[in-house]
Chains A and B, each alone.
Chain A
Amino acid sequence: MESISRDRKIRVGHVAIFLCLVVFAITTTAIAKDQDGLLKVYFLDVGQGDAELIVTPSGQQILIDGGPTNQVIDELGTIMPFYDSTIDVILATHKHSDHITGLLGVLDKYDVSRIVDTNRSYSASEAKEWQAKKELEGSELIIVKTGDEFDFGDGVKIRILYPDIVFADYKTKNPNNDSIVAMLEYGGLRILLMGDAESPVEKEILNKRINVNANILKIGHHGSKTSSTLSFLNSVSPTVGVIEVGAKNSYGLPSDVILSRLETLAIKYYRTDVDGTIKLSSNGKYFKITK
């Protein structure tokens, strides 16, 4: 190992500066090209779990769930600009580890302005960790209930269709049925995000005569047969379904029953285990899906 002489150091420095400029030039063009005034929804490939990133036309970022590991951070790294270390809203549908574990890592890495959650607690250790971290983050904490609405400007809205507020002594039987169900609206585009909600929730929503009609349905509970009843699918009548699921997962998801049900109803579906991260972009009239 020779000592690094002053002369050589300058030369490495020059090359390094040049390389940095090249990297900046290439990436900033790519980022500029991506700012096309469209709404984008990314169904992230995070293994066996859920994570969706919504980017509004003006660039606000909304992350719904974080999957079971820190893989979500790598996915965000490839989508978000390199200088961006903030996320506007994080929404945790419910407190199962395949939805909130990745969010814990996201809270460590990003500055988050608002955290949206329900007041339905769950006694598992990951839920306790989430509660503690959430309170430490210093973000605005929002508890939502059926009927709440978020306006992100540019005509992008998120409506909360489920669940209702419960009393503090509420004990959950099945956290899946505590899932936030939300409708994302932009012009004529409607995307229904089901979280892990199962058939009782679908029934309750239908009974309340809430308009669930949507172009795109994030299929509930990773395509398990506990969700996506025929009557519910008929009411939503989507053209496209998205199943967020991990390759070779031990639960045997998605269920063949649900897949054939989607096929009979002529709903074209995408799966994150097969297609990887799925990107949807839309101007409010048309939408395009890229894998």
Chain B
Amino acid sequence: MHKLNLHKSQVFFYLMIAFMSGIFIASILPIAQSLISIILIVAIIGLAVVTYQKTFNNDDLGIYKRRLFAILFFSIILFSIGAWYFNKYSAKHSFVREVSDRNIEIMFRGYIDGEPRAQGQAQTYIFRVKEIILPKYGILTDEKILVTDRLFPSRRYGEFLVLAGKPKSPDELDNDSYVNYLKTQGATGTLSFPKISDDKKLSISSLEKLSINGYKIIFRIKSHFEGAISRSISEPNGSFVGGILLGSRQSISDDLKNDFNKTSTTHILAISGYNIAIVSAVFLSLLIVFVRRKIAFWISVAGIIIFTILTGASASVVRAAIMGILLSSANGYGRLYDQKISISLAALIMILLNPFVLTLDIGFQFSFLSVLGIAYMYPILKDRSKKIKSPEIIKDTLLMTLSAQIFVLPLAVYYFHNFSLVSLPVNVLILPFVPLAMMLGFATGILGIIWPLLGKAIGLLTWALTSYQIWVVRYFASLRYSNLSINPSLWSIILVYVIIVVLTIIGTKSINSKGNNGVNI
């Protein structure tokens, strides 16, 4: 009992959790930098004291105490580093924010750093500011702002422009969810309907130029691909296929989007870990015919990376790719190498890149919860339902949907005040055909580029299969009691999660005690 023989990876896990907790606490409560320093110093002294040879005896109890306190103080140190990191990041100096306060017209030189999106009568895009020009002097910088521009002329990624207008910093805006969006995008300001002219002279590093040209090629391929799908598949199916393949949701009509929301199936329209895991599972099952399982797994990882780049490698897609690789490593190796470590490491990387995602990015939270659900709840449910005889595909789909939903649903209800009663039947009816629809859609796009007529022929099949899926979604969404509107408090949601975690731990222990080797907790 008194022995504390933690494996190195366990210690690593606790330290990561401590660091992320620091970021989490700092992002919900303002913690003064001085307070962090004090905690840090106390923890370092504490660590020195407990690791000193003579503090504890050298018997079992002493070693146990020493290890326990060492880990405790180490965790506190990492906790404060996390809080410090968040503070540092959120107070990062921004020239855009500084000049926004002056309320004068300012010129921005730079380039469009993302694909413009049409939104009603306007288009929006992320603009990378390289130089801010004030009436008397200029400032060199490297920041992103969100620009709202007239719908025409249509802008393209990589255009070098000079924008003139009055910027607004996120702090001045009233709309909270919009401000959160800006933060998760890393944008330090917004600019509405600026005066725009071409910028032919802006000089940037050759590395940046190379990357812009690379992305230009990627976006061009992507738009050819999307165009081929759109010409080959009638609406609304064409947009639906674009959604499940590339996550492009803007051409899907609001009515249909609403129906997807009502039936809790919007997740198939976003590039999620689930979609990417499917792409790689398809890759894998094709490859396994030719090469060994492990090699096939690594090739499919390469496939995921290419897919990620093809879709423009936006933050949400990168996140999905990491999740997808995690899920398919379970697929390739039979189980995750060490689920706890790999999932939290993935989270850590994303949080380091932008600590705001932890509390502000709903997509980030959903992605992680669904992966956790599939990693921990799925094995339990599978074990419990061993005796139920039904076709594997239906059972697996049902169990995976159920396990991801159990983890995601409480938070989704909290955010959207909506509880879909038909989520499970709809998901079971359409999810088994998502991989096939993706494959057909992919074939339609590729063949459509090479030989439009063949693309249209395959497009008919894609159309038929996706029609079935859209019909199911529309039918269930039209039912009168398809969803309930509720508005639970944060505490009740936290309570629900505590119950879920406890049940998961109990369930996992009972599988392990039966001597099953499936899950490694």
* Cβ-defined contact, B121 with A97, below 8 A: yes
For chain B residues 281-295, which have a beta carbon within 8 Å of chain A? Answer: 281-282, 284-285, 288
Question: A154 contacts the other chain (Cβ, under 8 Å)?
Answer: no
Q: Which of A66-74, A114-122, A163-171, A193-201 contacts B (4 or more CB under 8 A)?
A: A66-74
* Cβ-defined contact, B456 with A76, below 8 A: no
CA distance A133 to B327 in the complex (A): 44
Question: B28 contacts the other chain (Cβ, under 8 Å)?
Answer: no
Question: B234 contacts the other chain (Cβ, under 8 Å)?
Answer: yes
Q: Mark A70-82, 1 if CB is under 8 A from B, else 0.
A: 1101101110111
Chain B residues positioned under 8 Å from A8 (CB to CB): 391-393
Question: A275 contacts the other chain (Cβ, under 8 Å)?
Answer: no
CA distance A84 to B150 in the complex (A): 33
For chain A residues 15-56, which have a beta carbon within 8 Å of chain B? Answer: 15-16, 19-20, 22-24, 27
Q: Which of B108-116, B460-468, B490-498 contacts A (4 or more CB under 8 A)?
A: B460-468
* Cβ-defined contact, A1 with B327, below 8 A: yes
Given the known inter-chain contacts A12-B433, A71-B253, please indicate yes or no for A3 contacting B284, CB distance below 8 A.
yes
CA distance A69 to B323 in the complex (A): 35
Shortest Cβ distance from residue B497 to the other chain A in the assembled complex, whole angstroms: 24
CA distance A22 to B277 in the complex (A): 29
Shortest Cβ distance from residue A21 to the other chain B in the assembled complex, whole angstroms: 8
Residue in A13, A71, A73 with the greatest tally of chain B CB atoms within 10 Å:
A73
* Cβ-defined contact, A129 with B154, below 8 A: yes
The A interface, classified by DSSP as helix, strand, loop or mixed, is helix
Chain B residues positioned under 8 Å from A128 (CB to CB): 152-153
CA distance A5 to B285 in the complex (A): 8
CA distance A2 to B253 in the complex (A): 34
Question: B135 contacts the other chain (Cβ, under 8 Å)?
Answer: no
Partner of B331, one of A2, A20, A111, A124: A2
Given the known inter-chain contacts A1-B331, A3-B284, A125-B152, please indicate yes or no for A109 contacting B464, CB distance below 8 A.
no
* Cβ-defined contact, B374 with A1, below 8 A: yes
Question: A286 contacts the other chain (Cβ, under 8 Å)?
Answer: no
Given the known inter-chain contacts A19-B433, A20-B464, A109-B231, please indicate yes or no for A4 contacting B281, CB distance below 8 A.
yes
* Cβ-defined contact, A109 with B285, below 8 A: no
Chain B residues positioned under 8 Å from A88 (CB to CB): none
* Cβ-defined contact, A85 with B231, below 8 A: yes
CA distance A124 to B465 in the complex (A): 42
Shortest Cβ distance from residue A197 to the other chain B in the assembled complex, whole angstroms: 23
Question: B339 contacts the other chain (Cβ, under 8 Å)?
Answer: no
* Cβ-defined contact, A109 with B151, below 8 A: no
* Cβ-defined contact, B433 with A16, below 8 A: yes
Question: B511 contacts the other chain (Cβ, under 8 Å)?
Answer: no
Partner of A76, one of B154, B235, B282: B235
Residue of A nearest to B226 (CB): A108
* Cβ-defined contact, A9 with B285, below 8 A: yes
* Cβ-defined contact, A73 with B235, below 8 A: yes
* Number of B interface residues in the complex (CB < 8 A): 48
Residue of A nearest to B277 (CB): A1
CA distance A68 to B121 in the complex (A): 8
* Cβ-defined contact, B150 with A125, below 8 A: yes
Residue in A68, A82, A126 with the greatest tally of chain B CB atoms within 10 Å:
A82
CA distance A71 to B252 in the complex (A): 9
Chain A residues positioned under 8 Å from B433 (CB to CB): 12, 15-16, 19
Residue of A nearest to B152 (CB): A125
* Cβ-defined contact, B151 with A20, below 8 A: no
* Cβ-defined contact, B150 with A74, below 8 A: no
Residue of B nearest to A110 (CB): B231
Chain B residues positioned under 8 Å from A97 (CB to CB): 121, 151-152
CA distance A13 to B436 in the complex (A): 8
* Cβ-defined contact, A129 with B152, below 8 A: yes
Given the known inter-chain contacts A1-B374, A126-B151, please indicate yes or no for A16 contacting B460, CB distance below 8 A.
no
For chain B residues 112-154, which have a beta carbon within 8 Å of chain A? Answer: 118, 120-121, 150-154
CA distance A125 to B432 in the complex (A): 46
CA distance A239 to B331 in the complex (A): 67
Chain B residues positioned under 8 Å from A16 (CB to CB): 433, 436, 465
Question: B251 contacts the other chain (Cβ, under 8 Å)?
Answer: yes
Question: B328 contacts the other chain (Cβ, under 8 Å)?
Answer: yes
Chain B residues positioned under 8 Å from A281 (CB to CB): none
Partner of A19, one of B284, B374, B392, B465: B465
* Cβ-defined contact, A70 with B231, below 8 A: no
Question: B230 contacts the other chain (Cβ, under 8 Å)?
Answer: yes
Question: A288 contacts the other chain (Cβ, under 8 Å)?
Answer: no
* Cβ-defined contact, B456 with A85, below 8 A: yes
CA distance A5 to B288 in the complex (A): 11
Question: B105 contacts the other chain (Cβ, under 8 Å)?
Answer: no
Chain B residues positioned under 8 Å from A125 (CB to CB): 150, 152-153
CA distance A18 to B277 in the complex (A): 26
CA distance A84 to B374 in the complex (A): 42
Shortest Cβ distance from residue A75 to the other chain B in the assembled complex, whole angstroms: 9
* Cβ-defined contact, B285 with A1, below 8 A: no
Chain B residues positioned under 8 Å from A101 (CB to CB): 151-152
* Cβ-defined contact, A23 with B467, below 8 A: yes
Question: A285 contacts the other chain (Cβ, under 8 Å)?
Answer: no
* Cβ-defined contact, A23 with B253, below 8 A: no
Given the known inter-chain contacts A12-B433, A68-B121, A83-B460, please indicate yes or no for A1 contacting B328, CB distance below 8 A.
yes
Residue of A nearest to B330 (CB): A1
Partner of A74, one of B121, B236, B471: B236
Question: A173 contacts the other chain (Cβ, under 8 Å)?
Answer: no
Chain A residues positioned under 8 Å from B251 (CB to CB): 70, 73
Shortest Cβ distance from residue B324 to the other chain A in the assembled complex, whole angstroms: 10
Question: B227 contacts the other chain (Cβ, under 8 Å)?
Answer: yes
Given the known inter-chain contacts A8-B392, A19-B433, please indicate yes or no for A1 contacting B461, CB distance below 8 A.
no
Given the known inter-chain contacts A3-B331, A128-B153, please indicate yes or no for A27 contacting B467, CB distance below 8 A.
yes
Apart from A19-B433, A20-B468, list 4 A-B contacts with CB within 8 A: A2-B331, A8-B393, A68-B121, A70-B251
Query: 9 interchain pairs (CB within 8 A)?
Result: A1-B277, A3-B285, A3-B331, A12-B393, A12-B433, A12-B436, A19-B465, A20-B465, A108-B231
Question: What are the 8 tightest A-B residue pairs by CB atom distance, in nearest-first order?
Answer: A77-B235, A20-B464, A125-B152, A23-B464, A82-B234, A126-B152, A19-B468, A1-B331
Binding site for A on B (CB under 8 A): 118, 120-121, 150-154, 227, 230-232, 234-238, 251, 253, 277, 281-282, 284-285, 288, 327-328, 330-331, 374, 391-393, 396, 400, 432-433, 435-436, 456, 460-461, 463-465, 467-468, 471
